[in-house]
Amino acid sequence: MKITILGAGNMGGAIACGLAVNGSAQPQDITVIDHKGKNVPRLREVSEDINVVVADYSSLSTADILIIAVKPWMVEEVLKTHKALLENPKQLIVSVAAVVTLAQLQEWTSPHQPVFRVVPNTAIAVRQSMTYIASQNADKEQREQVFRIFSQLGKVEFVEEKLIPAITSLTSCGIAFAFRYIRAAMEGGIEMGVYPDQAKDAVLQTLRGAIDLLEANGNHPEAEIDKVTTAGGITIKGLNEMEHAGFTSAVIKGLKASNIK
């Protein structure tokens, strides 16, 4: 199965590296198209075997799966520019572009082309993405093919397209929100006299523990919070202060601001 990845930036590069390092695809079956060549050294550093080409679009005609990883506003242009190479009606067109819809992908390819809208996040670089997939005109086997690729790179779920904007906010943007929490907690630690690296380790291990607890017991987060908040104790003082400053409201407002339909 031949895969061409169009765009070798954060997403395209991470998908290529993830698949190559993991060994789930033969490196010679993956072609990454970088249009100016600036990403070639970075990809080569990860694996000498990744087939990176510069502005050579010939593999578009032979790929079984085309993964489009350019900026959203470029998707229409690249599909239209290379339309003559995209003649295989069974080729799976997979776009990771955040706001490009299945209807648009359909319009820019052909009416019965199997098209996929995939929502990863940057943790795909360490094969820990939360990835959602919606599809149109794809049969079960084609959906499984795309599922198999992305399940090498983290956790995958199929969703209806109408949920994609909200899911994108929670996961693709959400990873940045999580980093901002980590940074804020580190800054608090530093103000209290903890060294930055020590603060980072403390916050990361605490978050890992929180995730493992929720995954192990399936509890609602509030049930775990109840176990921490001793009546009259110190945790509730901190939590209430955070809520007075609008913590929950700020998170919800941020998620909704990123929920672009």
Ligand X SMILES: O=C(O)[C@@H]1CCC=N1
Q: What is the contact surface with ligand NDP in residues (CB under 6 A)?
A: 6-12, 33-36, 38-39, 69-72, 74, 78, 96-98, 120-122, 172
Give the whole-angstrom CA distance, residue 153 versus residue 28. Answer: 19
Q: Interaction with ligand X in 173-232: which residues (CB under 6 A)?
A: 173
Q: Compute how many residues bind ligand X; rule: CB under 6 A.
A: 4
From residue 126, alpha-carbon distances to 53, 129, 176 in Å are 23, 8, 15
Q: Which of ligand NDP, ligand X, none lies near 38, with the C-beta cut-off 5 to 8 A by kind?
A: ligand NDP
Tokens 């578009």 locate to 60
Q: Which does 101 bind (CB under 5 to 8 A by kind): ligand X, ligand NDP, none?
A: none
Gap between the Cα atoms of 93 and 103, Å rounded: 12
Taking the complex as a whole, the smallest distance from the CB of residue 77 to ligand NDP amounts, in Å, to 7
Retrieve residue 248's tokens. 């929950």
Kind of pairing between the strands at 154-158 and 115-119: unpaired
Q: How many Cα neighbours within 13 Å face the side chain of 170? A: 8
- Residue 177: Cβ within 10 Å count: 16
Query: Contact with ligand X (CB under 6 A): which of 31, 109, 137, 168?
Result: 168
Q: Which residue, 104 or 121, has its beta carbon nearer to ligand NDP?
A: 121
Strand partners, 258: none
| Ranges within 40-99 binding ligand X (CB under 6 A) | 98
Of the two residues 135 and 199, which places its CB atom closer to ligand NDP in the complex? 135
Which lies closer to ligand X via its Cβ, residue 109 or residue 168?
Answer: 168
Give the shortest CB-126-to-ligand X separation in angstroms: 16
Note whether 51 and 28 are within 8 A (CB). Answer: yes
Smallest gap from residue 173 Cβ to ligand X (A): 5
Closest CA to 165 of 214, 228, 98: 98
**Any contact of residue 171 with ligand X (CB under 6 A)?**
no
Q: Pick from ligand X, ligand NDP, none: which does 213 bind, CB < 5 to 8 A by kind?
A: none
Contacts with ligand X by CB under 6 A lie at 98, 168, 172-173
